[in-house]
Amino acid sequence: EGRGRYLLAKGGAVLLKSRLEELHILLDTYPAPTIEAHRRIRAGLCGACDAAQAEAAILGAELEALRGCGPEFRDLALEFGRIRRESEQKGWALRQLRPPTP
């Protein structure tokens, strides 16, 4: 148990030392405002990535729920899509036939 704690502490120290070296390299390479801009960009990208992953999980769950409805539901969904496209096309045709309003 003592050896395990020692190795755990040693591993943590190595990680901290590695992070410190990374920060030194960043400071030597970029000016402070650039590093702050990089942090903001990274935070924005991480937030967007997390939101996209959450949305993907929700959509995946919805897709699985729809798949559970059976093959009949797929046929109904395809038919609904066809009818909706047809309705949009007919609506466009009607708008083209109507005179423009001043």
3-state secondary structure 30-71: CCHHHHHHHHHHHHHHHHHHHHHHHHHHHHHHHHHHHHCCCH
- In the chain, what percentage of residues exceed pLDDT 70? 99
Range of the domain at 96: 71-102
Pair (21, 48) in one structural domain: no
Per-residue confidence (pLDDT) for residue 74, from 0 to 100: 82
Angle of helix 32-67 versus helix 2-29 axis, rounded to 10: 120
Q: Model confidence over 35-78: pLDDT tens digits?
A: 899 999 999 999 999 999 999 999 999 888 888 888 888 888 89
Is 63 in the same domain as 80? no
Q: What's the total number of domains in the chain? A: 3
pLDDT of residue 67: 81
Higher pLDDT, 23 or 74: 23
